[in-house]
Amino acid sequence: MTSVLSTPPAISAGTLADGPQPVLSATGGLLLRPWEATDAPVFFAAYRDSEIRRWHTRQPVSEDQVRGWFDQYRQDWAQEKGAHWAVIRRDGEVLGRIAMRGIDLDDGVANCAYWVLPAARGAGVASRALTALSVWALGETGFHRLELDHSTRNKASCRVATKSGFLLEGTKRSAAIHSDGRHDMHLHARIRGNERMPQ
């Protein structure tokens, strides 16, 4: 038997899936666009980078598997479970990845994740992409809360989160497994109407 909510959903079903996944603009000439099959080589190569491998335990084993992930990303959008973008320059060069996962339309909550290719690090790519995603999700789409978590040892990810207005809410002890064992995880969140705006 299907349960019935006692409150209206924060975001109506179909809000995402009834249209195409949008292309979002970020400052500094960046765009967030859905992944395309031709991106598979650069996506696969990203997971040969030691820093990306260190913080992401789910890693593709082939470009064919990457294309399968891209198919799943499209299904995630159609089923309103997730949204996945390539972060690119306007000339089309892929610089990184950003995503919303675990979308809960009833509560208006989602979890964000990102990585940036080595050549693009240190230029604010991740924070600009995360800010653009936050503006779209919280300001235009009706989400109420965006969360992200990262290892307490991942100082770069922590800087991205705080720079993008995601306040540190606490530490989840021994919450995730990485290649070198269990890690404590920082939990950050940005909330519609009550968030600290990026400086």
CATH of residue 133's domain is 3.40.630.30
Quick check: 24 pLDDT over 70?
Answer: yes
Per-residue pLDDT, 1 = 60
Is 176 among the domain residues? yes
Interacting residues of 72 by C-beta distance below 8 A, sequence separation 6+: none
Euclidean distance between CA atoms 63 and 87, whole angstroms: 19
Is 11 among the domain residues? no
Q: How many Cβ atoms are within 10 Å of 61's Cβ, its own excluded?
A: 9
Burial class (CB in 10 A: 0-12, 13-18, 19+), 192: middle
Quick check: 33 pLDDT over 80?
Answer: yes
Tokens matching residue 175: 């919450």
Per-residue pLDDT, 195 = 47
Is 17 among the domain residues? no
Is 10 among the domain residues? no
List, for residues 137-180, the tens digit of each pLDDT value: 999 999 999 999 999 999 999 999 999 999 999 999 999 999 89
Q: How many domains does the chain have?
A: 1
Structural domain span for residue 153: 24-191
Is 174 among the domain residues? yes
Average pLDDT, the chain: 94
Tokens matching residue 162: 């705080």
Question: Span 70-96, mean pLDDT?
Answer: 97
Is 119 among the domain residues? yes
Per-residue pLDDT, 4 = 76
